[in-house]
């Protein structure tokens, strides 16, 4: 059974989008910074920074594409809520 769609206030929608955009930015920055820190501890400069940058780019772009697809998804209407008499009236 589907739950009835409840309209969210615009501020809630804006905060959800801001949260997702911030998460994308953090993923782009966090992995290279982690690689830099590990490089300084292990003395493997610059390899872990490069790996972290590539990993951060892949994760960030995946999140960005996912967000873009969700925001551009067309709104669907539930046609199953129509009664058969409404469907018959539209056909006539």
Question: Does residue 37 form part of some domain?
Answer: yes
The length of the chain, given as a count of residues? 92
Closest CA to 48 of 63, 72, 31: 31
Per-residue pLDDT reduced to its tens digit, 51-87 = 999 999 999 999 999 999 988 888 776 555 555 555 5
Question: Does residue 52 form part of some domain?
Answer: yes
Question: Does residue 61 form part of some domain?
Answer: yes
Cβ 51 vs Cβ 33: under 8 Å: no
When divided into structural domains, the chain yields a total of: 1
- The residue range of the domain holding 36 is 31-70
Question: Does residue 44 form part of some domain?
Answer: yes
Per-residue pLDDT reduced to its tens digit, 26-36 = 999 999 999 99
Cβ 23 vs Cβ 56: under 8 Å: no
The Cα 15–Cα 28 span in angstroms is: 20
What does pLDDT average to over the chain?
83
Question: Does residue 80 form part of some domain?
Answer: no
Residue 6 DSSP SS3: coil
Distance of CA 7 to the CA centre of its chain: 20
């Amino acid at each position: 059974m589907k739950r009835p769609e409840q309209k969210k206030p615009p501020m809630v929608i804006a905060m959800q989008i801001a949260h997702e955009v911030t998460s994308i930015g953090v993923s782009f920055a966090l992995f290279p910074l982690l690689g830099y820190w590990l490089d300084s501890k292990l003395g493997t400069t610059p390899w872990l920074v490069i790996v972290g940058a590539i990993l951060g780019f892949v994760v960030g772009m995946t999140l960005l594409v996912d967000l873009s697809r969700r925001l551009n998804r067309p709104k669907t209407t539930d046609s199953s809520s129509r009664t058969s008499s409404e469907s018959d009236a539209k056909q006539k």
